[in-house]
Amino acid sequence: MSALKIAHTNFTVFDLQKSLAFYIEILGFQEMRRHEAPDGSYILVYLGDGTGGHQLELTWLKERKDPYQLGDNEIHFALTTNDYDAVHAHHKALGLTLWENEAMGIYFVADPDGYWIEIVPEGRLS
């Protein structure tokens, strides 16, 4: 059997523009490609960190009228950084929703829909 590679993770979002602003302006992602349904019923936007490989797919559905209820929201993905203290201070200064685990030396930041993104110092748990 041939090896499988992770292609992307999907988050379905309520407000695409607000989500794009979060991922591009706050987390530094880049829009890699986009697909819009010919009938306008959905938009898929693929974001990456510029290094290739794994991407985040944001799905927006036109018929959605209410924000998503994520329940216990145990789903997340992790980002690493070589300047953890500066990134942490920046996110805190922006007033983002953070959940911190000081014992592990990591924290989580919530996106506009309430999905958690784990921030990890490079080389730790990555």
Query: Taking the CA atoms of the chain, what radius of gyration do you get in angstroms?
Result: 15
> What is the H or E stretch that residue 35 is in?
strand 30-36
DSSP designation for 103: T
Q: Within the chain, what is the greatest distance between any pair of CA atoms?
A: 49
In 3-state terms, the chain is what percent helix, strand and coil (to 5)? 15, 40, 45
Which of 25, 57, 100, 118 does the annotation list as catalytic? 118
Residue 118 designated active-site:
yes
Q: Which of 111, 54, 26, 4 is nearest to 46 (CA)?
A: 54
* CB-CB neighbours of 112 under 10 Å: 19
Which amino acids are annotated catalytic? 118
